[in-house]
Chain A
């Protein structure tokens, strides 16, 4: 990965390519409908500033995705992944 400026553009985790690394900027927008999903994401190990990498995508419709978060590999659906904002690291 090339070194980028600190004010790099941020994008959704779903837009991250396979085998690419990024760093989590924020999780969720605070919208009421997604509160529970955000809570679950945080419980299982998604946190700001952690490094993520897309390892695998599901065989049907590339859903769900397997994400490496630090040393854990977590499977989540694209719907939840879209709540996570990342920037290139």
Chain B
């Protein structure tokens, strides 16, 4: 135990205390962290590694702040994965720039106390003042588990506090402790624990024996397994029904992205149009009007419209994660993934990549096997991310007739489904190729806890979605705005010579650039305007649509501005070109942000370059094949 801090240096301004939250995955640690810190949170990375560092502040009643650091989930301090290593190194004080904590708050799922006691004992070995939060006490009581918190506290020699993190009242005992007894146990100079003091191998087994004795003394009633979880798993993990349910869930998810989003998208569309009308009448003809109408509104407007789809997609992914279904999906998919040398672990990062490759690539951290992790990162961009939706939606609306085929299926929907499917199949093939060509590898494994099912906490879900909305709007307001304005400038100047034929944009800088690139892309059917759109498309994929919007409002007369982009493209592109453009975007060299995160996560320029190279080659070949096949059939 630490020596009591007498605040001798400056009684008025005691230094800020630091508490580290430790606990296994699914212990409700993050919910407790959210409840303690509310919106006073910061998400960053630990120095040198890419594990997310969540920190926040709790203010004691007396006004004194406590810094709270939410450590990555770990089952043991015997680290074999990156997340666990960060937790271990943090506690050992071996992470650069990180101060040691004054105390550790260990969060344990009370329904699994027996299985977590060894970890508590491991944490005790670190020598920090330790407090145990027995979380999910309500669930433990419901399951008939009886825990004698007092004798648990006596056996462990540390304070034990029952909590229910998802309820305001369930936090009271912990808050009471933090405000009263807590200061008595911390404040002294903590000593960095010695790595040798942490148990390993046989010592871990000895600790396991101690844990067993303590469990015997403190757990009075064993209770039953969570009934809902048992019953649901019988259905969801049924060998026959399970895969169909998974397919159904995925189908529902993508269906919702398109049908639910239609109405808000129309709203945004008409909003942008009336704003354009308004600006058109208020701002006089000239530089400013062109910049606002053709640059800002046409560009940013055509991207903002996809916000509803992105929100719905992220909503489903958060929902699947929070409810516990995501791990069941991994369980069902593991065997299939192992065929191409991957594991069920990779299913979650890959599914997240449908929203955006960046969280997907970052989620790959949870994969223990370094080679599985690398392969997952390499193929993640092949999952159709939400940024590609604007491109797909636009081209499909313009070129694929909304006819009904095969008894009820919408052709536009089928094409969209095919685009997703091609991406998935290509990813699996790529993984298989990497697996065969890679060096000989040791045994692979799949180990994962299937946590109990939980009702989503709507507040956490809403907070998560709000963060996504902010990121998207920030992108629209910065990268996308900047590139569209730049592009507008390039497309507007220099002015065409007197009496020139055709649209003005042909004579601009952008037109010249497009003509230059056309040499490379003409063989696969790309026109000069596509070539121009591809450049800003590298900054963020959805900007390609904005770029086309900018180019076409400039290359026609006033009517072209109000005319929808889809109708414009119908006359500007041939069908083979449109299909080739779609094929290009399945494999499209990813946006700069993806490249940057790949560089950070792999810590290798070689692999980042490899990823860009193989995707570029695939995209070029696929677009070329599509173009020439379509031409041969149609002409």
A51-89 to B contact mask, C-beta < 8 Å, 1/0: 000011111111110101111111111011000000000
Contact check, A44 vs B447: say whether CB atoms are below 8 A apart: yes
- Whether A22 sits at the interface, judged by CB under 8 Å, is no
Contact check, A72 vs B112: say whether CB atoms are below 8 A apart: yes
Contact check, A56 vs B76: say whether CB atoms are below 8 A apart: no
Measured between beta carbons, the chain B residues less than 8 angstroms from A49 are 212
Name the interface residues of B105-153: CB closer than 8 Å to any CB of A. 111-112, 114-115
Measured between beta carbons, the chain A residues less than 8 angstroms from B448 are 74-75
- Whether B239 sits at the interface, judged by CB under 8 Å, is yes
Contact check, A58 vs B335: say whether CB atoms are below 8 A apart: yes
Question: Could you say which of A43, A79, A80 has the most chain B C-beta atoms within 10 Å of its C-beta?
Answer: A43
Name the interface residues of B216-246: CB closer than 8 Å to any CB of A. 225, 229, 233, 237, 239-240, 242-243
Measured between beta carbons, the chain A residues less than 8 angstroms from B331 are 56, 58, 64, 66, 75
Contact check, B239 vs A58: say whether CB atoms are below 8 A apart: yes
With A and B bound together, what is the CA distance between A59 and B212 in angstroms?
A: 35
Contact check, B443 vs A37: say whether CB atoms are below 8 A apart: yes
With A and B bound together, what is the CA distance between A63 and B237 in angstroms?
A: 12
- Whether B11 sits at the interface, judged by CB under 8 Å, is no
Contact check, A37 vs B445: say whether CB atoms are below 8 A apart: yes
- Whether B336 sits at the interface, judged by CB under 8 Å, is yes
Q: State how many residues of chain B have any CB contact under 8 Å with chain A.
A: 39
With A and B bound together, what is the CA distance between A71 and B336 in angstroms?
A: 28
- Whether B450 sits at the interface, judged by CB under 8 Å, is yes
With A and B bound together, what is the CA distance between A38 and B205 in angstroms?
A: 12
How big is chain A's contact interface, by range?
35 or more
Query: A53 → chain B, closest Cβ, in Å?
Result: 10
Closest to A47 in B: B208
With A and B bound together, what is the CA distance between A76 and B344 in angstroms?
A: 10
Query: A49 → chain B, closest Cβ, in Å?
Result: 8
Contact check, A40 vs B447: say whether CB atoms are below 8 A apart: yes
- Whether A15 sits at the interface, judged by CB under 8 Å, is no
Contact check, A79 vs B445: say whether CB atoms are below 8 A apart: yes
Given A33-B443, A71-B115, A75-B344, A57-B450 contact (CB < 8 Å): no
With A and B bound together, what is the CA distance between A66 and B454 in angstroms?
A: 19
Measured between beta carbons, the chain B residues less than 8 angstroms from A73 are 229, 233, 449-451
- Whether A1 sits at the interface, judged by CB under 8 Å, is no
Query: B245 → chain A, closest Cβ, in Å?
Result: 11
Of B78, B208, B243, B327, the residue contacting A59 (CB under 8 A) is B243
Measured between beta carbons, the chain A residues less than 8 angstroms from B229 are 73
Contact check, B447 vs A74: say whether CB atoms are below 8 A apart: yes
Name the interface residues of B10-62: CB closer than 8 Å to any CB of A. none
Contact check, A74 vs B449: say whether CB atoms are below 8 A apart: yes
- Whether B438 sits at the interface, judged by CB under 8 Å, is no
Of B80, B233, B334, B442, the residue contacting A58 (CB under 8 A) is B334
Contact check, A44 vs B443: say whether CB atoms are below 8 A apart: no
Measured between beta carbons, the chain B residues less than 8 angstroms from A69 are 115
Contact check, A72 vs B442: say whether CB atoms are below 8 A apart: no
Of B75, B237, B330, B335, the residue contacting A44 (CB under 8 A) is B75
Of A36, A60, A74, the residue contacting B336 (CB under 8 A) is A60
Contact check, A34 vs B443: say whether CB atoms are below 8 A apart: yes
Measured between beta carbons, the chain B residues less than 8 angstroms from A37 are 443, 445
Given A71-B114, A75-B331, A56-B447 contact (CB < 8 Å): no
Contact check, B334 vs A63: say whether CB atoms are below 8 A apart: yes
Measured between beta carbons, the chain A residues less than 8 angstroms from B186 are none
Contact check, A45 vs B115: say whether CB atoms are below 8 A apart: yes
With A and B bound together, what is the CA distance between A5 and B239 in angstroms?
A: 35
- Whether A41 sits at the interface, judged by CB under 8 Å, is yes
Measured between beta carbons, the chain A residues less than 8 angstroms from B114 are 70-71
B328-350 to A contact mask, C-beta < 8 Å, 1/0: 00111011101000001000000
Of A33, A36, A55, A60, the residue contacting B80 (CB under 8 A) is A36
Contact check, A41 vs B204: say whether CB atoms are below 8 A apart: no
Name the interface residues of B346-368: CB closer than 8 Å to any CB of A. 368
Measured between beta carbons, the chain B residues less than 8 angstroms from A59 are 239-240, 242-243, 332, 335
Name the interface residues of B72-95: CB closer than 8 Å to any CB of A. 75-76, 78, 80
With A and B bound together, what is the CA distance between A56 and B335 in angstroms?
A: 14
With A and B bound together, what is the CA distance between A9 and B338 in angstroms?
A: 33
- Whether B446 sits at the interface, judged by CB under 8 Å, is yes
Given A43-B76, A43-B78, A61-B447 contact (CB < 8 Å): no
With A and B bound together, what is the CA distance between A56 and B334 in angstroms?
A: 14
Contact check, B450 vs A74: say whether CB atoms are below 8 A apart: yes
Given A39-B80, A71-B111, A56-B233 contact (CB < 8 Å): yes
With A and B bound together, what is the CA distance between A33 and B444 in angstroms?
A: 11
Measured between beta carbons, the chain B residues less than 8 angstroms from A75 are 327, 330-331, 334, 344, 446-450
Question: Could you say which of B239, B331, B336 has the most chain A C-beta atoms within 10 Å of its C-beta?
Answer: B331
Measured between beta carbons, the chain B residues less than 8 angstroms from A74 are 447-450
Query: A86 → chain B, closest Cβ, in Å?
Result: 17
Query: A37 → chain B, closest Cβ, in Å?
Result: 6
With A and B bound together, what is the CA distance between A64 and B204 in angstroms?
A: 27
Contact check, A40 vs B115: say whether CB atoms are below 8 A apart: no
Contact check, B446 vs A33: say whether CB atoms are below 8 A apart: no
Measured between beta carbons, the chain B residues less than 8 angstroms from A62 are 239
With A and B bound together, what is the CA distance between A80 and B204 in angstroms?
A: 20
Measured between beta carbons, the chain A residues less than 8 angstroms from B75 are 43-45
Give 10 A-B pairs besides A34-B443, A60-B335, A80-B446 with Cβ atoms closer than 8 angstroms. Answer: A41-B447, A49-B212, A55-B233, A56-B331, A59-B243, A66-B233, A73-B450, A74-B447, A77-B334, A77-B445
What are 25 contact pairs spanning A and B, CB under 8 A?
A: A34-B443, A36-B442, A39-B78, A39-B80, A40-B368, A42-B204, A42-B205, A44-B75, A56-B233, A56-B331, A58-B334, A59-B332, A59-B335, A61-B335, A62-B239, A63-B335, A66-B233, A66-B237, A69-B115, A72-B112, A73-B229, A75-B449, A77-B338, A79-B445, A80-B446
Q: Which 5 A-B pairs have the closest CB atoms?
A: A60-B335, A59-B239, A56-B237, A43-B76, A73-B450
Chain A positions near chain B (C-beta within 8 angstroms): 33-34, 36-37, 39-45, 47-49, 55-64, 66, 68-77, 79-80
